[in-house]
Amino acid sequence: MSLTLYYHPLSSFCWKVLIALYENEIPFTPKLIDLGDASERAAFLKLWPVGKFPVLRDDARQRTIPESSVIIEYLDQQHRGATCLIPDDADLALRTRLRDRFLDLYVHMPTQTIVFDRLRPADARDPFGVAEARTRLRTSYAMLEAELAPGGWAMGDPFTLADCAALPALFYAKNVEPFGAGLPAVAAYLDRLAARPSVARVLAEAAPFFHMFPEERG
């Protein structure tokens, strides 16, 4: 197989790419990287000096592609399957990319702020930053609640890049800032996502690692 995905099964941005790969049944070699292992870390940094997951290596084309959204777009161009993750319609494609960025920047990143704060020593925690992140999440939830179509996907009928981004963003976000009763459309959308075979496979593979997710400390 010419494709190798360097990843960790708990990494939310890796989930985006795994969903895309499984959705279109694209053959690839998964390469789980333990950054705590000096030799594995050194080899990964040689491939991608930034040292962030995920990274896709396409040996057939001698290409190394970082960043989850870019990887998915690359797969859609070079390894397109039955599910077109970037719509051919230019306007819908632009709106799909915008929804992807919205989910990454305004759901995913505030969630990471809260999670990373849990990992800090007590005297280094940032209550103001966490409160700000929670406010951003609630704002983002409300925007999604108003925009999601009943029974559909992030962009309506087609399953797209935006849905690949939504699953990890919302799955982790609800664990740090629960949706509550006022967000039925968001909650129902996440349930639909979790039931989709490509997504269910990602969640099942990650489940043995869920105990590593940091719980809130008092």
What's the pLDDT at 25? 96
What's the pLDDT at 217? 56
What's the pLDDT at 203? 97
What's the pLDDT at 73? 97
Q: What is the 3-state secondary structure (H, E, C) of the chain?
A: CCEEEEECCCCHHHHHHHHHHHHCCCCCEEEECCCCCHHHHHHHHHHCCCCCCCEEEECCCCEEEECHHHHHHHHHHHCCCCCCCCCCCHHHHHHHHHHHHHHHHHHHHHHHHHHHHHCCCHHHCCHHHHHHHHHHHHHHHHHHHHHCCCCCECCECCCCHHHHHHHHHHHHHHHHCCCCCCCHHHHHHHHHHHHCHHHHHHHHHHHHHHHHCCCCCC
pTM of the complete model: 0.94
Domains delineated in the chain: 3-78 (3.40.30.10), 90-196 (1.20.1050.10)
What's the pLDDT at 1? 61
Q: What is the pLDDT along the chain (218 residues), one digit of tens a residue?
A: 689 999 998 899 999 999 999 999 999 999 998 888 899 999 999 999 999 999 999 999 999 999 999 999 999 999 999 999 999 999 999 999 999 999 999 999 999 999 989 888 888 889 999 999 999 999 999 999 999 988 999 999 999 999 999 999 999 999 999 999 999 999 999 999 999 999 999 999 999 988 887 776 55
What's the pLDDT at 24? 97
